[in-house]
Amino acid sequence: MAKALPISPLAVPFPPMPPLSGVRLAAGEAGIRYKGRTDLVLMEFAPHTAVAGVFTRNRCPGAPIDWCRAVLPAGRARALVVNAGNANVFTGRAGHEATRASADATAALVGCAAEEVFLASTGVIGERLPHDRLVAALPALRAALAGDGWEAAARGIMTTDTFPKGAVRHAAIHGVPVRLQGIAKGSGMIAPDMATMLCFVATDAALPAPVLQALLSAGVAESFNCTTVDSDTSTSDAVLLFATAEAGNLSITHDDDPALLPFREALNELLLDLALQVVRDGEGASRLVSVEVAGAETDASARRVALAIANSPLVKTAIAGEDANWGRIVMAVGKSGEPADRDRLCVSIGGHRIAENGAAVPQYDEAPVVAHMKGREIALAVDLGLGDGIGRAWTCDLTHGYIDINGSYRS
């Protein structure tokens, strides 16, 4: 087993996650790549569970992504199987055979159609998934299913993650209390172009698949798609949302129903919570960085500028070195390709304006900014002075630790 990585200094505790009606989970050891740790997770859902999903737009997706995309339109789910250590990507026919065998074996145990089984894999690309080990481990996982297995499941899907990630939110639909809770994994190869990592959320609310899909797609756009660790979009990214209908709330048929507002807000909060936990666990990260852009011509333009700043290696290394180098921020704005006027641009760090109208602020006092740069959470803000467009992004700094982890990932 590879040496455990030190826990991120930005880690947050795993929250209490009680059983959620209609969901049972288990984690176990299949020996797919890791030795002496859990690497396989099974979730089983109550009959009539609806599902929504958003997947990577990487043009070289893994076989599990192909499988999930094919079965998602039916909108029904009875099980989810996730393995860590092997991504089942770029494995040709063998990859598709592995997904079929995994889905068939799970369906036989659960008593459902294979098309009601969802699959996800994370880990090394280009190596065949030893699905015989996965299939052999499934009966023991089925026997161990329990409602309180959320933290074990969160740990079972980790790769280079240094802490398990979970979140819980509460809401009501037509006055009926409902709960949402989910887990995520991710640390490197994090740059949003759908989603970026694995995230699995369940709720006991009764919501049809089309409504779930609309809510999830909108929520991902403002959370996972606004985060980046290293600008690399994974081949295996997936966010899945399962609704077990166990809460018994009144039927909802449209995603714009006012009764859905509390649920929508809770889902959006939960997704952002999990997305930021992924950034907090960025490989080698020592600082969480927020980037706010205002004054753009459109919101879309502002978001692209924010991501250009968040993805810049020079900005990220400056933050790692506690250097308030606002020139690198200006550079990143300019390279984004979005409308910008050098002579209208304003830059702030930690709430302190340090550059405006194309030049440094006269008598700029660097002391409070230097103090801010020594903290764990860094706030960057840019005002383009062109319009009303706003956008946000979150990232982490880029340290030697990132090279150390990725330089030895397969060894």
Model pLDDT for residues 98-108, shown as the tens digit of each residue? 999 999 999 99
* pLDDT score for 159: 87
Q: Which residue has the tokens 């609309």?
A: 214
Q: In Å, how far are 37, 57, 85, 132, 138 from 2, measured between CA atoms?
A: 11, 30, 11, 23, 24
Mean pLDDT of 281-307: 95
What pTM was computed for the model?
Answer: 0.93
Is pLDDT at 190 greater than 90 in this prediction?
no
User: Which residue(s) pair with 169 in the sheet?
Assistant: 180
Lowest mean pLDDT among 227-231, 309-313, 351-355: 227-231
Q: What is the mean pLDDT of the chain?
A: 93
What is the pLDDT, as a whole number, of residue 364? 86
How far apart are alpha carbons 389 and 381 in whole angstroms?
A: 13
* pLDDT recorded at residue 197: 73
pLDDT value of position 234: 67
The per-residue pLDDT for 34 is 87
Q: For 358-381, how does the pLDDT look when each residue is reduced to its tens digit (9 = 90+)?
A: 899 998 888 999 999 999 999 999
Structure tokens at 142: 């089925």
Nearest alpha-carbon partner for 223 in 39, 54, 400, 14: 54
Is residue 196 marked as binding?
Answer: yes
The structural domains of the chain, ordered by start, are 23-280 (3.60.70.12), 288-407 (3.10.20.340)
307 φ, ψ to 5°? -70, -35
Of 49, 196, 227, 228, catalytic = 196
Q: How high is the pLDDT of residue 286?
A: 95
What are the structure tokens assigned to 100, written together? 């079929």
In this predicted structure, the answer to whether residue 2 has a pLDDT above a threshold of 80 is no
406 among annotated binding-site residues: yes
Judged by average pLDDT, the poorest of 85-94, 191-200, 225-234 is 191-200
Q: 74 or 401: whose pLDDT is higher?
A: 74
pLDDT higher than 60, residue 282? yes
DSSP 8-state assignment for residue 219: H
Neighbours of 14 (CB within 10 A): 17
Is 283 labelled as part of a ligand binding site? Answer: yes
Sequence-distant (6+) residues with CB within 8 A of 23 are 43, 44, 45, 46, 147, 202, 242, 244
Q: Is 1 a residue whose pLDDT tops 50?
A: no
Segment 229-281, tens digit of pLDDT: 877 666 778 899 999 999 999 999 999 999 999 999 999 999 999 999 999 99
pLDDT at 195 over 50: no
Encode pLDDT of 108-165 as tens digits: 999 999 999 999 999 888 999 999 999 999 999 999 999 999 999 999 999 889 999 9
For residue 22, name the pLDDT band (cuts at 50, 70, 90). Answer: very high
> Could you tell me how far CA 271 lies from the centroid of its own chain?
8
More confident residue, 288 or 236: 288
Average confidence (pLDDT) over 25-38:
93
Catalytic-residue membership of 244: no
Rg, C-alpha atoms of the chain: 22
User: With contact defined as beta carbons under 8 Å apart, do 99 and 80 qualify?
Assistant: no
**The 389-396 sheet, strands edge to edge:** 359-360, 352-356, 346-349, 377-383, 288-296, 389-396
H helices present in 312-350, as ranges? 313-320, 326-335
